[in-house]
């Protein structure tokens, strides 16, 4: 039995002995997640999304097709895996994790990401979290992408390289900015610090909004010789209405 299999077995056994509480409504949970069956059924899973950038589908679509943006201008990464849409209550859980250090919320959503990865996608050689500037990391107390990468790396037995990329410039908060503002904000904000030639890499972040950050990071990794870049995140933001 491998370490990930043993860890999963122990986790399931612990939930049978000590049932958890739903992180959304507070009800007792009999599942192997801190989530009751009622709230689990209401989660906005990202079904029928673009198979390249994971953009949630438009109203009425019930099949996965490549979106117009990816057809006209393919991104530098192969594909993005995002199990959830960034909508309530997923946005609430991510906010608790990112701004209040509620790591159980990130672990919960990571389980949905792991389910997608185990059934649909090849695994990379190494995980690379999107870096935070040291000032932002000091303000927040941790890098949420690095925490996720290490959690996923332990579960999948994949090494994590948090220093392959460095954020060289302190940028304004991306949240609430339009695509053009995000692009200008990220220009020259990263550099490559480690050897990636010949590697297959998964870039890890919490949320993909316009894709500006993951595009910039993926371009750097491909330019450095990475043979394939994928993107793993907890949630993808739908198109602005």
How does DSSP assign the chain, residue by residue?
--HHHHHHHHHHHHHHHS-EE-TTT--EE-SSSSS-HHHHHHS-B-TT--TTT-PPPPTT--S----HHHHHS--SSS-EE--EES-TTHHHHHHHHHHH--HHHHHHHHHHHHHHHHHH----SEEEEPPPPHHHHHHHSS-HHHHHHHHHHHHHT--B-TTSEEE-S-----TT--HHHHHHHHTT-EEE-S--TT-EEEEEEEEESSSHHHHHHHHHHHHTT-SEEEEEEEEEPPPP-
CA 170 to chain centre: 22
**Ramachandran region, residue 211 (left: φ > 0; alpha: ψ -120 to 50; beta: rest):** left
Ranges of each domain in the chain: 1-42, 44-236
Q: Please, what is the average pLDDT of the chain?
A: 86
The pLDDT > 70 percentage for the chain reads: 80
What are the tens digits of pLDDT across the range 205-225? Answer: 999 999 999 999 999 999 999
What are the tens digits of pLDDT across the range 107-166? Answer: 999 999 999 998 766 899 999 999 988 787 788 889 999 999 999 999 999 999 999 999
44-236 is classed CATH 3.20.20.70: no
What are the tens digits of pLDDT across the range 54-86? Answer: 999 876 566 778 999 999 999 999 999 999 999
Model's pTM, two decimal places? 0.86
Q: How confident is the model at residue 2 (pLDDT cuts 50, 70, 90)?
A: low
């Amino acid at each position: 039995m491998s370490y990930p299999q043993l860890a999963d077995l122990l986790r399931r056994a612990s939930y049978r002995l000590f049932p958890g509480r739903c992180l959304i409504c507070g009800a007792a949970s009999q599942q192997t997640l801190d989530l009751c069956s009622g709230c689990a059924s209401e989660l906005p899973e990202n079904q029928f999304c673009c198979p390249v950038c994971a953009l949630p589908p438009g109203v009425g679509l019930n099949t996965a097709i490549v979106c117009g943006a990816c057809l006209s201008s393919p991104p530098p990464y192969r594909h993005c895996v995002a199990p959830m849409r960034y909508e309530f209550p997923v946005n609430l859980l991510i906010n608790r994790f990112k701004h209040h250090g509620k790591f159980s919320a990130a672990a919960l959503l990571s389980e949905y990401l792991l389910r997608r990865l185990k059934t649909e996608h090849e695994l990379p050689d190494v995980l690379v979290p999107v870096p935070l500037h040291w000032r932002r990391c000091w303000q927040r107390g941790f890098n949420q992408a690095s925490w996720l990468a290490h959690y996923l790396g332990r579960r999948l037995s994949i090494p994590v390289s948090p220093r392959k990329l460095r954020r060289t410039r302190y940028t304004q908060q991306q949240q609430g900015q339009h695509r053009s503002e995000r692009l200008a904000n990220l220009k020259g904000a990263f550099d490559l610090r480690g050897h990636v030639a010949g590697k297959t890499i998964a870039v890890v972040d919490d949320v993909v909004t316009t894709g500006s950050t993951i595009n910039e990071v993926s371009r750097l990794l491909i330019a450095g010789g990475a043979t394939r870049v994928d993107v793993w995140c907890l949630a993808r933001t739908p198109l602005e209405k």
